[in-house]
């Protein structure tokens, strides 16, 4: 027994101090994560205050850099992996002490990553759902509900199309740079934060992805990286998707973790904007989700609405499909989709990647409620 204690003491002594701290934080985070799962009320509190403060602080620090830190890390990842692999191989060929230190260091890095996820973002998956926060009644959706919601959205869109410019391809043109778009979205978030108390009020920057065209092959239009606090968007996608995507990623930055809820918050925030194009982006993206659901529920009602849409809206959708054909089917998209699906399911979203489309339930509940006023 004494020998075991002595060996254990020696093993602990050779662990780097930073690794000890990281592993302890990881164990604490495991307990914290368990409390989130048990108590949605505590998850709401933690997400709204401690985590919100840390996310805002991280967004401020990363916002100093005009480029995406997360994208830079990903681009350097092959070099990092090679360096780590070489170090591990060297350690394995050396003394058992070095091998042990290398293994513990890897565990410590994973523990640090888990800690950052738990403290910064995990509580958003475990708190009260958005429909309850908004006072909406989320029930089973019928084809007639989808038809009514689609028509309400189409009515709003038709009022906006005459104020926009469209290219010969049929796609609309955003009259702002990404920087200007971000500023307008920050203004909209400020207004939304006054209306919805679960949204923290702070300003941040959307980061355009440099390698947006290659990224499009993954079908990823935007990503929030919790470990850098950055809302990143793929600027290769058609203009009308950009404000909505940016608002979606900014919603994640403000603690709205579930994908359907981030989509709906993006819509609500776009509605708060004074800018015509940002409102158009919000309506158009939600309209597409609802229209797709209507096609599955009642194809006849779907085609009736398509015939009433008008050339501007049809042209936008046709132009998007023509753009996306180049990226539609590829191995990279399948792999990234599988990874994202598994991640979402691990965080309690049973529908996985399909949870993005569940925003339709929220849209129907919103348009059936007294929250919506024409």
User: Does the structure show a pLDDT above 60 at 374?
Assistant: no
**At 373, is the pLDDT very low, low, confident or very high (cuts 50, 70, 90)?**
low
User: Does the structure show a pLDDT above 90 at 345?
Assistant: no
The set of residues, in sequence order, having a beta carbon less than 8 Å from that of 326 and lying 6+ positions away, is none
pTM of this prediction?
A: 0.91
| Residue pLDDT, tens place only, 186-222 | 999 999 999 999 999 999 999 999 999 999 999 999 9
Give the Cα separation of 182 and 173 in Å (integer). 16
Mean local confidence (pLDDT), 329-343: 57
Residue 207 forms beta bridges with which residues? 232
Share of the chain above pLDDT 90, in %: 74
Mean pLDDT over all residues of the chain? Answer: 89
**Ramachandran region, residue 219 (left: φ > 0; alpha: ψ -120 to 50; beta: rest):** left
**At 353, is the pLDDT very low, low, confident or very high (cuts 50, 70, 90)?**
very low
User: Does the structure show a pLDDT above 60 at 104?
Assistant: yes
| Domain residue spans of the chain | 2-126, 130-368
Share of the chain above pLDDT 70, in %: 84
The set of residues, in sequence order, having a beta carbon less than 8 Å from that of 224 and lying 6+ positions away, is 230, 231, 232, 249, 252, 253
**At 153, is the pLDDT very low, low, confident or very high (cuts 50, 70, 90)?**
very high
Which CA distances in Å does 92 have to 68, 86, 103, 286? Answer: 35, 10, 10, 54
Which CA distances in Å does 49 have to 45, 124, 151, 198, 204? Answer: 6, 12, 39, 10, 17
Which pLDDT belongs to residue 355? 38
Which pLDDT belongs to residue 137? 92
User: Does the structure show a pLDDT above 70 at 80?
Assistant: yes
Residue 208 forms beta bridges with which residues? 233
User: Does the structure show a pLDDT above 50 at 87?
Assistant: yes
| Residue pLDDT, tens place only, 19-47 | 889 999 999 999 999 999 999 999 999 99
Which pLDDT belongs to residue 371? 62
User: Does the structure show a pLDDT above 60 at 58?
Assistant: yes
């Amino acid at each position: 027994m004494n020998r075991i204690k002595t060996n254990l003491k020696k093993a602990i002594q050779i662990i780097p101090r930073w690794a000890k701290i990281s592993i302890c934080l990881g164990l604490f985070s495991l307990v914290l994560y368990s409390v989130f799962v048990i108590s949605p009320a505590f998850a709401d509190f933690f997400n709204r205050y401690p985590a919100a403060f840390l996310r805002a602080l991280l967004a401020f620090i990363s916002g100093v850099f005009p480029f995406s830190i997360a994208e830079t890390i990903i681009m350097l990842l092959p070099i990092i992996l090679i360096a780590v692999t070489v170090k591990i191989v060297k350690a394995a060929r050396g003394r058992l002490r070095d091998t042990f230190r290398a293994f513990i260091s890897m565990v410590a890095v994973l523990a640090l990553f888990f800690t950052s996820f738990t403290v910064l973002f995990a509580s958003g998956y475990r708190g009260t759902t958005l429909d309850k926060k908004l006072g909406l009644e989320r029930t089973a959706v019928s084809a007639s509900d989808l038809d009514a919601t689609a028509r309400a959205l189409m009515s709003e869109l038709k009022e906006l199309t005459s104020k926009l410019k469209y290219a010969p391809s049929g796609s609309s043109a955003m009259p702002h740079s990404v920087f200007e778009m971000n500023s307008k979205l920050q203004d909209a978030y400020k207004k939304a934060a006054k209306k919805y108390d679960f949204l923290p009020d702070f300003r941040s920057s959307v980061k355009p992805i440099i390698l947006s065209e290659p990224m499009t092959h993954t079908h990823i239009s935007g990503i929030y990286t919790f470990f850098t606090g950055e809302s990143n968007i793929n600027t290769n996608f058609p203009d009308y998707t950009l404000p909505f995507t940016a608002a979606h990623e900014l919603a994640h930055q403000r603690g709205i973790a579930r994908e359907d809820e981030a989509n709906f918050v993006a819509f609500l925030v776009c509605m708060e904007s004074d800018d015509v194009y940002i409102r158009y982006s919000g309506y158009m993206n939600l309209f597409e989700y609802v229209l797709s659901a209507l096609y599955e529920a009642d194809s006849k009602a779907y085609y009736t609405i398509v015939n009433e849409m008008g050339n501007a809206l049809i042209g936008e959708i046709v132009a998007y499909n023509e753009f996306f054909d180049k990226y539609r089917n590829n191995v990279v998209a399948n792999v990234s989709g599988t990874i994202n699906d598994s991640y979402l399911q691990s965080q309690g979203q049973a529908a996985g990647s399909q949870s993005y489309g569940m925003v339709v339930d929220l849209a129907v509940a919103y348009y059936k409620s007294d929250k919506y006023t024409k």
